[in-house]
Amino acid sequence: MKLPAGAQVELVVVDNDPDAPESAPLPDAGGLPARRLREPRRNIAHARNAAVAAARGTWLAFVDDDEEVPEDWLSAYLGQVERTPCDGLFGPVLARAEAPEQGGLRWLTFFTPERFETGVRVPLAGLRTGNAFLRRRLFDGASFDPALGRSGGSDTKLFAALAKAGADFRWCAEATVVEWEPAEKLAARWLLRRAFRGGYAHGCIAREGSRAQVARAWLRAAAGVAAALARLPLGVGPRTRALRACMRVASAAGRVHGLRGGRFVEYA
């Protein structure tokens, strides 16, 4: 990891496996000061909250456990906050196949989220912990919601609330990470489940609004289901186009399921 002169960095690793031994070793921290914490409650929101509580820096950089960061990752973020003062930065996540020889590469395009130009404000769809750099003070009195820790979406809910409260989130195209996708994810079935999960999280978040907000959310969800069904291709066509249409239906169905208070568990 290449860092600017004077930068002080610590690595906080949260082990969320309740069966992990107390003496499990730390991953290679490349010479950085590192600490390993145990959070035995199997819930990603609890794990993230434990990391935030333990961190001592002015900035918190988040990365997922299936991602790889280049040596200039933190330097890109630190340089950008000097050029564009803000409350947080988010960067691109590039999908790569763990075993390309097993096929499924045609589905990699479904794992590449929308990208933006450096310095622009990030919309709700771009807010997630997979590649983020945030001011520590944002978490004073704010935390990831464990109610969404087993389904996914606790990061979206928290960051959306912070943005609504006035937090300024920007994009940093230079702070790129690589996410390694196993063969079982490069399949239509998994992608449809992922789309449903995303819609479900947004439905759960919308359900907590006022009565008028919930009513509007129901109208948008119903319109989304109708629009998604209308765009389903008829007859034989490209598989990728058909899958995208089915994913829109799955996402709309997930949103309805979340709005009606249904239960969905992604992370067992």
Domain boundary (153, 185, 217) is at 185
Confidence of residue 235 (pLDDT cuts 50, 70, 90): low
Q: 60 and 193 in one domain?
A: no
Q: Is residue 25 part of a domain?
A: yes
Portion of the chain with pLDDT greater than 70, in percent: 96
Angle in degrees, 0-180, between the axes of helices 44-54 and 154-164, rounded to the nearest 10: 50
Q: 100 and 203 in one domain?
A: no
Specify whether the CB–CB gap between 155 and 144 falls below 8 A.
Answer: yes
Q: Is residue 56 part of a domain?
A: yes
Domain boundary (131, 152, 185) is at 185
Q: Is residue 1 part of a domain?
A: no
Q: Is residue 265 part of a domain?
A: no
Its domain, for residue 119, covers 11-185
Pairing of strands 131-135, 59-63: antiparallel
Task: For residues 125-149, give the mean pLDDT.
Answer: 93
Total domain count, the chain: 2
Q: For the chain, what is the largest distance between any 2 Cα atoms, rounded to a whole number of angstroms?
A: 62
Q: 40 and 137 in one domain?
A: yes
Confidence of residue 62 (pLDDT cuts 50, 70, 90): very high
Q: Is residue 2 part of a domain?
A: no
* Predicted structure pTM score: 0.85
Q: What is the pLDDT of residues 176-220, one digit of tens each?
A: 999 998 888 888 899 899 999 988 988 888 888 888 888 888 888
Q: Reduced to 3 states, what is the DSSP secondary structure of residue 198?
A: helix
- The number of C-alpha atoms within 13 Å of 134 and in the hemisphere containing its C-beta is 25
Q: Reduced to 3 states, what is the DSSP secondary structure of residue 67?
A: strand
For position 103, what pLDDT does the model report?
A: 63
Q: Is residue 58 part of a domain?
A: yes
Q: Is residue 140 part of a domain?
A: yes
Q: Is residue 3 part of a domain?
A: no
User: At 114, which CATH number?
Assistant: 3.90.550.10
Domain boundary (185, 218, 233) is at 185
Query: Residue 165: is its pLDDT beyond 90?
Result: yes
**Measuring CA to CA, which residue among 74, 95, 82 is closest to residue 175?**
74
Token couple for 7: 């930068």
- Cα separations (Å) of 199 from 25, 64, 169, 185, 216? 37, 21, 22, 18, 16
Within 10 A of 246 (CB to CB), how many other CB atoms are there? 18
DSSP state of 27: P
Q: 232 and 211 in one domain?
A: yes
